[in-house]
Amino acid sequence: MNGNSSAEFKELVRSRTDIVQLIGETLTLQPQQGGKIYKGLCPFHEDHNPSFQVNPERQSYKCWVCSEGGDCFSFVMKHDNLGFPEALEFLAHRAHLELPTQVRRGPAESSHKPKLFEALAWAEQEFHDCLMSTAAGERARRYLQERGFTQATISRCKFGYSPDDREWLLRRARNRFDEQLLSGARLITERSDGNGYKDRFVDRVLFPIQDERGRTVAFGGRILPDHPWKEAPKYLNSDESLVFHKSELCFGLHWAREAIKKTRIVLVTEGYTDCLMLQQAGLTNTVATLGTALTESHVTLLKRIANTVVLIYDGDQAGKDASERALSKFLAQDVDLRILTLPGDLDPDEFLQQHGRSAMQHLIDSAPEVAEYELRALLTRYGTGTLDARLRILDGMLQLLIVSSGIAGTVKEDLLIGRLPQRLGLSESDVRKRLKDLRGQHRDRAIRSLGRKVAAIESTRETAQDLRKRGILLLQQSQSKDDLLECELLQVLLTSPCMIDVVRRDIGTDDFRNEVLKELLTCCFDLNDEGWHPEFDKLLSRLECSDLKGLVVWIDEQARNKRVAERLAMDDSEQDSNFSGGLLRQVLDGLKWRRKSETHRKIQDRLIARPPDVSKLTPETLDVLHRAHQYHQQRSSKKK
Ligand SMILES: [Zn+2]
């Protein structure tokens, strides 16, 4: 690949991408300081106050809690879990730019997510055409009609059908997609006798499953009711793949997003057919989990666009268990989580058909929030007849508080505790004392288990990347005197890249001791060798590791906080009279001094370890040693 044109293309993609718009596509950003900064909930850690900042001027982002930061490329890499080439391809496509042939990746390069998306989109169309316009699709069309799906839903969601033929898709894919790729997309599976592949979905209606950007990543398949093989599972989903992660995916989010943004309420069902039915009935702010309980990644995803999450679960016991498992995890989240359990063992689809949309809406509006739901469940289970029962209920409710990290001492906790004395006929001081005891026990257990975890982590070997990541985190938390000096030099370079020439006259990359800072300095020098100044954008373009990009953004912010630009400008105006006192000069002198004293120390150590026979040294060598010794003594006493 031609280095220059690839760098130019990266720059072109960057210049056509507005980072505020890009990030705004997946999370809600609020302008601050008249639009100089945008703030939102960080997508990379469990964020309760908006600590994620986007800087439109620098086209960078930064989280002040978890230290993630970087540019448009690193955002896409981190957020969508992509490699650099794929992120470039994604952003180029988004900016309607054609990838130049030199930039296009060869087959040797590992990334094949875009290929998977291509195969899945193709299969979706094949299945859809088969459903809509073949004789074989007739039974499937009838089934969908009986289930109550309208033509509009079928077309909009591109339902499909895979005929009763184990090689239908395989044949159609011939000369188009190879078997490795189809298998990676989970469209075909290996035959159990090891003789090649067969279609994964046979005689099934197919419901495409899309990610939050609307790309098809998997299928849910419902066997047709009159299928002859009675043991076939009723529902069959694609297995997880490079592009399909069940526990992170909210089915239907891509269609529901606008309605959720408008109402700030999201309804969550446990399966995709319920979700599709609710959406079809006009409850367009509905999404579904795919056969898993609500996970923290789901909630993190949803609370960026909604204030209220209503879990809609079947009336049967399995549904109730699932909702109770989910509760405690979300109590401390700054989202209003409500639980709706449907009456009479009905699932949402059945309830809608029997009672209609307005009855459903009424249930949604009156759904109890998590703690109230739990309290009602405990009251039903134990009653309040005996003191023992009331204490059991108290412990159950307090347990909920204790496992919710981050709720201790909050208004929310006060509200939750406040209702207990009256409902349980206990005094408030008893309730608080019990909470304190239980919390103490819980903390002891947590500390013991944390100790075990730390020991386990320390015993595993770290990869080079882990080491680098840890180095960057440590550096951002606290800096040694050496680190500060090296950071200062990089701050100067980021603020005033043209100073690189002055820097290189005095300093080499070996003068840096911190490994990650050395990587950045090396990158600055490399750019300089190619005829560039190490400007912020250029540096971000060049670095492909998103952790290092985050570090660049961090150093750049530090430079602004320390007013490096103003200090350099001041030095500039005084250059004639006293340049030697300038910021850059100070930093360079500091680094040079450090190098010299290290050399000196090494010589000293060597002399101590292996004292030379002084009588054999030449007078010249003795003289050099003597003068070096004097010089360093002087510098040391001056420093003190
Ligand atoms: Zn964060």
**For residue 109, pLDDT beyond 50:** no
Rounded mean pLDDT of 27-42? 88
Same domain, 86 and 138: no
Residue 475 CA to ligand 1 center (angstroms) comes to 17
What CATH number is given to the structural domain containing 20? Answer: 3.90.580.10
Q: What is the dihedral of CA 39, 40, 42, 43, to 10 degrees?
A: -130
Give the residue from 348, 367, 386 where a domain finishes. Answer: 367
Residue 46 CA to ligand 1 center (angstroms) comes to 7
Residue 69 CA to ligand 1 center (angstroms) comes to 9
**For residue 493, pLDDT beyond 90:** yes
Angle between helices 72-79 and 84-94 (to 10 degrees): 110
Residue 75 CA to ligand 1 center (angstroms) comes to 12
Amino acid in the structure at residue 53: Q
Residue 291 CA to ligand 1 center (angstroms) comes to 29
**For residue 571, pLDDT beyond 50:** yes
By CB neighbour count within 10 A (0-12 exposed, 13-18 middle, 19+ buried), where does 115 fall?
middle
Residue 248 CA to ligand 1 center (angstroms) comes to 18
Residue 63 CA to ligand 1 center (angstroms) comes to 5
Residue 80 CA to ligand 1 center (angstroms) comes to 15
Tokens of 289: 């989990």
- The reply to whether 445 falls in a domain is no
Residues spanned by the domain of 139: 113-244
> Would you give the DSSP letter of residue 98?
P
Residue 178 CA to ligand 1 center (angstroms) comes to 40
| Cβ neighbours of residue 78 closer than 8 Å, sequence gap 6 or more | 44, 68, 70, 546
Residue 276 CA to ligand 1 center (angstroms) comes to 33
Rounded mean pLDDT of 508-521? 92
**For residue 458, pLDDT beyond 80:** no
pLDDT at 106: 43
Residue 34 CA to ligand 1 center (angstroms) comes to 23
What mean pLDDT value characterizes the chain? 84
Residue 41 CA to ligand 1 center (angstroms) comes to 8
pLDDT at 460: 59
Residue 81 CA to ligand 1 center (angstroms) comes to 16
Rounded mean pLDDT of 472-490? 87
Rounded mean pLDDT of 125-150? 95
- The reply to whether 515 falls in a domain is yes
Residue 457 CA to ligand 1 center (angstroms) comes to 22
Residue 43 CA to ligand 1 center (angstroms) comes to 6
- The reply to whether 302 falls in a domain is yes
Same domain, 475 and 595: yes
pLDDT per residue over 238-252, tens digit each? Answer: 998 888 988 889 999
Amino acid in the structure at residue 587: V
Domain tally, the chain: 4
Q: Which residue has the tokens 């412990």?
A: 395
- The reply to whether 424 falls in a domain is no
pLDDT at 107: 41
**For residue 2, pLDDT beyond 50:** no
pLDDT at 141: 96
Residue 634 CA to ligand 1 center (angstroms) comes to 48
Same domain, 88 and 118: no
**For residue 375, pLDDT beyond 70:** yes
Same domain, 128 and 166: yes
Whether residue 515 contacts residue 468, with contact meaning beta carbons closer than 8 Å, is answered with yes
Length of the chain: 640
- The reply to whether 61 falls in a domain is yes
| Cβ neighbours of residue 395 closer than 8 Å, sequence gap 6 or more | 434, 438
**For residue 38, pLDDT beyond 70:** yes
Residue 183 CA to ligand 1 center (angstroms) comes to 36
Rounded mean pLDDT of 351-358? 90
Q: Which residue has the tokens 């209920």?
A: 393
pLDDT per residue over 204-229, tens digit each? Answer: 999 999 998 889 999 999 999 999 88
pLDDT at 480: 85
- The residue with greater pLDDT, 380 or 201, is 201
What CATH number is given to the structural domain containing 258? Answer: 3.40.1360.10
**For residue 330, pLDDT beyond 80:** no
CA dist 289 and 220 (Å) reads: 12
pLDDT band at 348 (very low <50, low <70, confident <90, very high): confident
- The residue with greater pLDDT, 416 or 255, is 255
pLDDT band at 80 (very low <50, low <70, confident <90, very high): confident
- pLDDT above 70 as % of the chain: 89
What CATH number is given to the structural domain containing 603? Answer: 1.10.860
pLDDT band at 103 (very low <50, low <70, confident <90, very high): low
Residue 587, φ and ψ in degrees, nearest 5: -65, -45
Residue 45 CA to ligand 1 center (angstroms) comes to 5
Give the residue from 244, 276, 300 where a domain finishes. Answer: 244
By CB neighbour count within 10 A (0-12 exposed, 13-18 middle, 19+ buried), where does 297 fall?
middle
**For residue 37, pLDDT beyond 50:** yes
Tokens of 163: 């005929």
Q: What is the dihedral of CA 71, 74, 76, 80, to 10 degrees?
A: -150
pLDDT band at 488 (very low <50, low <70, confident <90, very high): very high
Residue 303 CA to ligand 1 center (angstroms) comes to 15
**For residue 131, pLDDT beyond 90:** yes
Least confident range from 175-184, 360-369, 631-640: namely 631-640
Q: Which candidate, 579, 589, 520, places its Cα nearest to that of 551?
A: 520
Same domain, 528 and 597: yes
pLDDT per residue over 146-177, tens digit each? Answer: 999 999 999 999 999 999 999 999 999 999 99
